[in-house]
Structure 1
Amino acid sequence: MPTVSRAELYEQVWKRPLIKVAADYNITGTGLKKICARHEIPTPERGYWAKLQHRKPVRHPPLPDLSDERLAKIHIMGAINPDLSKEVTEAKTRVREKLAEIAKETTPSDGPKKTADEATADVTILSATLRTIRKARPDGEGFVSAKGRGVVPLRIGPPAIERGIALLAQFFSLAGTQGYIPKAIDDGLVLVIDDEPVTFALETPVDRNPHQPTPAELKEQERNARWNMAREPWPKYDYFPSERLSIVIHANAYSGLRRKFSDRRSKPLEQKLPTVLEAFAQHAVFAKERRLEQEEGARQFKEAERLRQLEEAFDAREKHRIEFFEAVHQRIAERQKLVEILAHLNSAADPKFPNAEMIGWLRRRIDQLSALISPAFLNISARAAKVEFAERPKGTGIDPYVYHPPVSLQYWSIDDAAGQARSISALQWIKNGGLLSSAENDERPD
């Protein structure tokens, strides 16, 4: 919140117009005038700057003494553009300073104004706009419109066509002094400022006049009166295109930046073109900042998504590894129990109760489990179940749809010569190992 003294603000408002001083504080000219009145600071009267420019006598009252010392310091809280960056503000200043330098080096032309054809001869990129708008037919309200590739979007009254094209040519010439280039796009024409396209349009606002009823409408009113219908059977106003022109910037809505510049009685739009160009520069910087913010946001989102997928893939691999070793541990625990049972039977052997078949089965089962948890079989079973124990190198792509087969420890028939292994059943492994008794080997299903 800027703080200034009465003397400082008094000096500022008498050096420049109120609206320009107000812009420095991000408030409106009306708001600044109210602040000055509250703090007993006289301000220039209406027409002061025009009179001063033409060297006419003006009134410049001195700063009066304060009636209340609490009003000596002024705290100004800006309400417009509160979030604009320093770069956006500086863009306006750079254009203003450069235009001022150019104005010192050039002599203003007092010759006749150029026609639309002469203007497009100087700024050829407007040729398509001129051709299109001249072919357009007025709509129901009397406006003609133009749009298309390389065409400045227009909605103006026919009498304003010539002046509008000449105004655009003057604006593009002024923009060229800053290195800004008009560029044709599919749905219009944009002004490119430091690689940022700024879209805009040229319009004329709607004017209205009180409607003058026609004889037919008056006659209809008489008929309505017989039925006690008091409503007038004609519109209150007639609407038509005004002769004023407006440049409207179609970018950065709700940014706080000014987007519309129009003719005024005291100042036509041609005299506002430097201010319009300053606004274009600000919009370009603002758009670039927002674009970079969006790109950074997208990059951060993409990186967060990548990390999420990495975490998800890592968790899936960890889960698969744990499942594999839980299966291994289950077989080890089973083997350990059988070993203890076998040891018990061997130590407590009783000739009266021979347990040869039981002991034989225990030994065979222990051999089976030993094979299942052997390093060779574990290695092959892990690869068959796609259990990865090495983390993927950095930069390796992540497949979110990778399928992990169920974890199971299997028996394998290994062909060392061919370097291959084939999954086989427990019975087949027992047969291949010669662990099946002759009675079991000859057994047939019922």
Structure 2
Amino acid sequence: MLLKIQELKLQKHETMEYCGKTYNIYKRSNLYEEVWKQPITKIAKIYSVSDSAIHKICKALNVPTPPAGYWSRVRARKTVKKMPLPKGNYREQKTGLRSETIKLSQEEDGILKFLDDENRTLVLAIADQIILPHEDSRMHSKIIAHRKKVSKWQKELKKSEAKGWGKRNLSDPPFFADTVSEESLPRVCRIFDALIKALEPLDCKLTDDLKIKVNQETVHISVTEVKEKIPHTPIEKENLELLKYEDRHNSNSYISKPKINKYDYLFNGRISFMIHGRKTFRDCKAYVVEEKLGDIVLALYEVSDVLRQEREKREEEARQREIERQKKEEQRERYNLEVANTEALVNKAEDYETSCKIRAYVSALEKSGELDDETATWIQWAKQKADWYDPTVASSDEYFGKRKHEESSESKVLKKSGYSWW
């Protein structure tokens, strides 16, 4: 939990100057009281050194430190045992180099900057105060439901493994059902319970598969438990198979050697929480995951903002692609319209040219001399056909109807009508 440490508080610790650098003076009795009052991560900030530096100083002064899980038990209001300070001829103090100035690191100073001041203060306060619920307290309803699914799947896996089938014929495992042991399941569920109970007042939501929605972004937490590789000890059934194989093998009877694993991979209780594949919190010598609940809260918010930025980037890229697609589509439509209009123009011009040829021919015929009635009737008919061909007149023909001047000449070829057979 990244909280501001006041300069006034830091001045209580003695320091000394040497060659232009500042050194802390660690007094054994004072350090003992400090490490049992608050986590070493906070003590390190007070002295402006790393966590490992405090551990080394404690070891050098023979100062006992709280074991892993101590502070999570304190937060859960459980009874804890404080180890006494060993008596003997031990060094009373030690000096160690510290930074020249004590202030928030760039990482701490920049945390949750995407939130407004009010929400940032609220989230930081919740991260600082989050505690692990008591073992007997009722869990969130979605965690209870998911835990039942996990327990059911793990029982089915045990039955399947006993038959030698492994994971065959099993449904896909629910979240963390195949990455966490039955023994660690209650612990993992309590951690999720602590997180969602702290986050729900901030309008965060828990999904059915235990993803957490932070600021409308869905953040996935992957949970794994470390497996240790240990030599396999054959069970009674495997020993019998080996004896059967050796007996038959010695009697020259063909029998395949039973396949028995050389090693077993067993869960060892050390778990890790990975926030959307970006930040990991794992059990280690210095702390357990439960002691990092506040940091997990902050990580959930930090990752949610990264997801927001990535989502908005994808949406903007999709919007730009759609704009580009629409531009291309509009360009295609304009081009095709231009092609159609040009073709129609050419087709109309061809029809007009035909009408002009007909009129020219009719005019020449009229000038050729006296015309009989039949020729005069034919000339009148020809003029009507010229008007039918002429797109500027666009008259309708008794037999052909309206001519579609804009269409191609091939589609307007006049054809004789044949018989229709029904």
Provide the C-alpha distance between the structure 1 equivalents of 2:262 and 2:303, rounded to a whole number of angstroms: 39
User: Is the 1:99–1:274 Cα contact (8 Å) retained in structure 2?
Assistant: no
> Paired residue for 1:189?
210
Deviation at residue 361 of structure 1 after TM alignment: 4.8
Are 1:238 and 2:264 matched, yes or no?
A: yes
Provide the C-alpha distance between the structure 2 equivalents of 1:386 and 1:126, rounded to a whole number of angstroms: 75
User: Is the 2:394–2:402 Cα contact (8 Å) retained in structure 1?
Assistant: no
Provide the C-alpha distance between the structure 2 equivalents of 1:203 and 1:366, rounded to a whole number of angstroms: 93
Q: Which runs of 5+ in 2 are unaligned?
A: 1-19, 25-47, 64-92, 100-109, 417-422
Deviation at residue 270 of structure 1 after TM alignment: 0.6
User: Is the 2:224–2:271 Cα contact (8 Å) retained in structure 1?
Assistant: yes
Instruction: Say how many residue pairs are matched.
Output: 312
Provide the C-alpha distance between the structure 2 equivalents of 1:245 and 1:162, rounded to a whole number of angstroms: 12
Given residue 203 of structure 1, which amino acid in structure 2 is its aligned partner? T
The 3 A distance-change label for structure 1 pair 406 and 130 is farther
> Paired residue for 2:283?
263
> Paired residue for 1:208?
229
Point out which structure has higher relative CO (alpha carbons under 8 A, 6+ apart): 2
Are 1:377 and 2:394 matched, yes or no?
A: yes
SS of corresponding position for 2:220: strand
Partner residue of 1:295 out of 301, 305, 315: 315
Deviation at residue 247 of structure 1 after TM alignment: 2.1
The 3 A distance-change label for structure 1 pair 137 and 313 is closer
Deviation at residue 194 of structure 1 after TM alignment: 0.8
Are 1:118 and 2:137 matched, yes or no?
A: yes
Are 1:172 and 2:208 matched, yes or no?
A: no
SS of corresponding position for 1:158: coil
Provide the C-alpha distance between the structure 2 equivalents of 1:114 and 1:195, rounded to a whole number of angstroms: 29
SS of corresponding position for 1:243: strand
Partner residue of 2:96 out of 42, 48, 60: 60
Deviation at residue 147 of structure 1 after TM alignment: 8.4
CA offset digits 1:7-62 (Å, max 9, x no partner): xxx99xx9xxxxxxxxxxxxxxxxxxxxxxxxxxxx97883133569996555348
Provide the C-alpha distance between the structure 2 equivalents of 1:270 and 1:236, rounded to a whole number of angstroms: 35
Q: Which runs of 5+ in 1 are unaligned?
A: 1-9, 15-42, 64-86, 388-403, 411-424, 428-446
TM-score (norm 2): 0.54
Provide the C-alpha distance between the structure 2 equivalents of 1:386 and 1:262, rounded to a whole number of angstroms: 80
Are 1:157 and 2:176 matched, yes or no?
A: no
Deviation at residue 163 of structure 1 after TM alignment: 1.9
CA offset digits 1:123-149 (Å, max 9, x no partner): 34322134334445443589999989x
CA offset digits 1:88-129 (Å, max 9, x no partner): 97459989865544577x5x97xx9721x4151xx3432213
Are 1:315 and 2:335 matched, yes or no?
A: yes
User: Is the 1:91–1:278 Cα contact (8 Å) retained in structure 2?
Assistant: no
> Paired residue for 2:385?
368
TM-score (norm 1): 0.52
CA offset digits 1:318-376 (Å, max 9, x no partner): 333333332321232233334444555666x479xx89977875664244212432656
User: Is the 1:211–1:235 Cα contact (8 Å) retained in structure 2?
Assistant: yes
> Paired residue for 1:75?
none
The 3 A distance-change label for structure 1 pair 374 and 243 is closer
CA RMSD of aligned residues (A): 5.4
The 3 A distance-change label for structure 1 pair 96 and 237 is farther
Provide the C-alpha distance between the structure 1 equivalents of 2:220 and 2:192, rounded to a whole number of angstroms: 13
Given residue 241 of structure 1, which amino acid in structure 2 is its aligned partner? F
> Paired residue for 2:294?
274
The 3 A distance-change label for structure 1 pair 376 and 284 is farther
User: Is the 2:230–2:265 Cα contact (8 Å) retained in structure 1?
Assistant: yes
The 3 A distance-change label for structure 1 pair 384 and 336 is closer
Partner residue of 1:47 out of 46, 52, 68: 52
* Percent of matched pairs sharing the same residue: 14
Query: After the TM superposition, which residues 348-363 of structure 1 pair with which residues of structure 2 at under 5 Å, given as runs?
Result: 349=368, 361=378
